[in-house]
Structure 1
Amino acid sequence: MDPHLLRTFVTVVRRGSFSAAARELGYTQSAVSQHIASLEADLGTVLLFRRPVAPSEAGTRLLEHAGPLLIRLDAARADVMRVAATPNAAITIGASPLAVKPRLSTALADLRRRFPRTHVTVRVLGRQAVLDEVSTGALALGLVDGMAAPSDPLRLPEAAPLTGVVRAAGDDELVAALPLDHPLARRTALRLPDLADARWIDAPEAGLPLAQLRANAEFGGFRPALAYDGTDVAALGALVAGGHGLAVLPRPAAEAAPGVTAVPIAEPRLAHCVEAVHAGALDGPVAGLVKALT
C-alpha cells in the first residue's frame, strides 16, 4: 500500500469529507478522490461509502492498522534524518502535566550551564501525545508520569518502538486531594478501595486517570461527577477545593493547591513516578539532560 494513499484515506475518515481532507492535505478534491479509488483498487474492495462519507467494514479494519503504520513510517523518517543531520543547537522536550516537577527545572539549569548555546523548548502534552511525538522525532525527549509500585515500571500506553525508557529520580507519595471541609479531610491515611464510591473529577491528563485508580483498587466505582478536559493542574486543584469531586495527585501538586488537603493513600502501596523516554541514540545535550534527571 502506498503510504500517501493511506494517509489520504485516514484524513478523509477523520474529517468526514473529501473537500475538508483536500484542504488539510493541500490537494484538489479530485486528487483525493483518485487516491481513495487507487487504494480501493489496490485492495480490491470498497473502503469508503460516499453519501455520507463513512468507512465500510473493510475500511474500519484498515483504520485499525493505519495509525500504527503511519506512526512507524514517521518514526523511520525521523530516525534516518537524525543520522543524516548535522548537530542541532535546538531541542524540544515534551512532558505530561504531572511530570513537570522541580527535578526538571534543576536538570534544565544544569543543561543550560553545560550547553549554553542550546535552545530548549518544553511542551506540555497528554501522555499518549508525548509518546507519539517522541516516536516520530518531533520531541528529542519525553517525560511521562503515572502510578506504580515503588519498584515497578510504569505501564506505558502502546506507541511506536522507543529506544529507551529510564526512571527519573524522586518518586512522590500519592495522596487523595480533598476540599478542606470534606468528612475525610482529617484522616491520617486512606485506602484507595474505600474511596471507590466518592464523587470524582475525571481529569485524565491533569490528575491520575480514573481508569488507573480502578485497576489498582481492583474494584469498580470511581465514577466521575465532573469531567475536566485540560492540562492545568492548578485548575484541577481549584475544582477540588470548590467541592466538585476528588482527585489523586502527587503530594507536591496537592499541597500547592489552595483550599485542598492532602491525605496519603496507604493501600495499595503506590507512588507517583516519572519516566524519561527517547528514540534513537542519546548524545549531546539530550544525553546530559537524561543524566541530570536520573
Structure 2
Amino acid sequence: MDPHLLRTFVTVVRWRSFSAAAEELGYTQSAVSQQIAALEADLGLALLRRRPVAPTPAGERLLEHAAPLLLRHQAARADVLRAAADPVERLTVVASPLACTPAVARSLAQARLSVTLSTAGRERVAEQVASGAADLGFVDGIAAPSDPLRLPDVGAATGIGVAEDGLVVVLPAGHPLSGRRGLALADLADALWLQAPAAVPVERLREVTGVGGFRIGFRYDGDDLHTVLNLAAAGHGLTLLPSSVTAGVPLTAPRVVHRVEMLCDPLATGPARAVAERLGWSPGPTP
C-alpha cells in the first residue's frame, strides 16, 4: 500500500471529513477523493462510507494497522537520511514531564555536545523516538517495582529502566491526613484530584487500585511542576508525585513506584549510543 494514500485515509477518518482532511494535507478535496478511491481499488474493498464519513468494517481493520505502518515508514526514512548525512555532534532528546531525573541530566551533561531537550506526553515520546524525530527518549509512569512501563507499539525502539522512586501523596497544608506516616491510595478514592501532565494521571490511579472514584477537581494542561505544587497547596486537589521531587505523605499501598525508562533505537550510534551506554544500556555491537 502506498503510504501517502494510507496517510490520507487516516486523516479523513480522523476529521470525518474529506474537505477538512484536504485542508490539513494541502490537497484539493477532489485529490483526496481520488486518493481514497485509489486505495480502495488497490485493496478491492470499500473503506469509507461517504454520508456521513465513517470507516467500514474493512476500514476499521485497516486503521488498526495504519499508525504502526506509517510510523515505521517515517522511521525508515529518518534512518536512511541520518546515515547519509554528515556526522554532527548534536543530540535531540524528548522526555515526559517527570522523566528528566538527576541521573539523566548528568548523563546528558557528560555528552559534551549540543543537546536539545523537549517535553512531550508519554505516548508521544515513544512515537518520536520510533519515527526518528528524537535520538533518545525518556518516559515516566508508575508500575510495580522492576516492572516495565506499558508503552504503545512503536516498532524497533526499546527501553531500559534508568530510575525508580517512591511516591508521595501531596496534600494541602493543614489537611487532616498530612500527619500520617503513610497512606493507602484506595482510601483516597473519594477525594478530588489534580489532573496534569506533570503528575500521575487520574485514570492510572483507578487502574492500580482497581476501584472507581478519584474525581478530577482541577485540570492543568501545562507541565510546570511548581504550578502543580501550588495548585495542590491551595486545595484544588490531591496529586501523586515522585518522592525525589517533593515532600508528601509516602504511598504505602498499592506497592508501586515511579519509574523512568530510556527509549533508544537498537541500532543507534554516536552520541545517542554513548549516552544510552552511560545509563546502563547494552544494545549490542554497532553494525
Q: TM-score, normalised by structure 2?
A: 0.88
CA contact (8 A) 1:201 1:244 kept: yes
Do structure 1's residue 253 and structure 2's residue 239 form an aligned pair?
no
Partner of 2:231: 239
Tell me whether 1:137 sits opposite 2:132 in the alignment. yes
Verify the 8 A CA contact 1:97 1:231 in the aligned structure 2. yes
Instruction: Quote the residue 1:271 is aligned against.
Output: 257
Offset of residue 208 of structure 1: 1.0
Q: Secondary structure at the match of 2:245?
A: helix
Whether the aligned pair in 2 keeps the contact of 1:178 and 1:240 (CA below 8 Å) is yes
How far is the alpha carbon of 1:36 from its aligned partner?
0.9
Give the secondary-structure state (helix, strand or coil) at the position aligned to 2:4: helix
1:201/1:226 contact within 8 Å kept = yes
Count of residues in Structure 1 that have an aligned counterpart in Structure 2 = 280
Q: Which runs of 5+ in 2 are unaligned?
A: 281-287
> Post-superposition shift, 1:105?
2.5
Partner of 2:173: 180
Farther off after superposition, 21-30 or 238-247: 21-30
In the alignment, the residues of structure 2 paired with residue 183 and residue 165 of structure 1 have an alpha-carbon distance, to the nearest angstrom, of 40
Letter aligned with residue 154 of structure 1? P
| Letter aligned with residue 134 of structure 1 | V
Which consecutive unaligned segments of at least 5 residues does structure 1 have? Answer: 113-117, 256-261
Match of 1:258 in 2: none
Q: Which moved more, 1:125-134 or 1:68-77?
A: 68-77
In the alignment, the residues of structure 1 paired with residue 157 and residue 20 of structure 2 have an alpha-carbon distance, to the nearest angstrom, of 36
The aligned runs of 1:164-179 (5 Å cut-off) are 164-169=158-163, 171-179=164-172
Q: What SS does structure 2 have at the residue aligned with 1:183?
A: coil
Contact 1:93 1:120 in 2 (8 A): yes
Corresponding residue SS for 1:253: coil
> Alignment identity in percent?
51
Deviation at 1:20, TM superposition (A): 3.0
Q: Distance in 1 between matches of 2:216 and 2:172?
A: 16
Asked if the contact 1:147/1:154 (under 8 Å) is kept, the reply is no
Runs (4 or more) in structure 1 with deviation over 6 Å come to none
Aligned to 2:267: 281
Please say if residues 194 and 218 of structure 2, whose CA atoms lie closer than 8 Å, have aligned partners that are also in contact: yes
Q: CA deviation at 1:207?
A: 0.8
- How far residue 163 of structure 1 moved from its aligned partner, in angstroms, is 4.1
Residue 97 of structure 1 deviates from its aligned partner by 0.2
Question: Which of 141-150 and 208-217 deviates more?
Answer: 208-217
Q: Please give the root-mean-square deviation of Cα atoms over the aligned residues, in Å.
A: 2.1
The whole-number CA distance in structure 1 between the counterparts of 2:41 and 2:206 is: 46
- Amino acid of the structure 2 residue aligned with 1:86: D
What CA distance in whole angstroms lies between the structure 2 residues aligned with 1:219 and 1:28?
49
Q: Could you tell me which amino acid in structure 2 is paired with residue 194 of structure 1?
A: D
| CA shift for structure 1 position 174 | 0.5
Where in structure 2 are the equivalents of 1:115-154 lying within 5 Å?
A: 118-150=113-145, 152-154=146-148
Tell whether the 8 Å contact from 2:191 to 2:214 is kept in structure 1 after alignment: yes
TM-score (norm 1): 0.86
Write the deviation string for residues 96-139 of structure 1: whole angstroms up to 9, x where unpaired: 00112222322222112xxxxx3211010001000011011111
Q: Does 1:159 pair with 2:153?
A: yes
Q: Does the Cα contact within 8 Å between 1:47 and 1:58 map onto a contact in 2?
A: yes
Q: CA–CA distance in 1 between the matches of 2:272 and 2:229?
A: 32
Give SS of 1:181's match: coil
Distance 2:51 2:186 in 1: 49
Amino acid in structure 1 at the alignment position of 2:161: R
Q: Secondary structure at the match of 1:143?
A: strand
Give secondary structure in 1 for the equivalent of 2:244.
helix
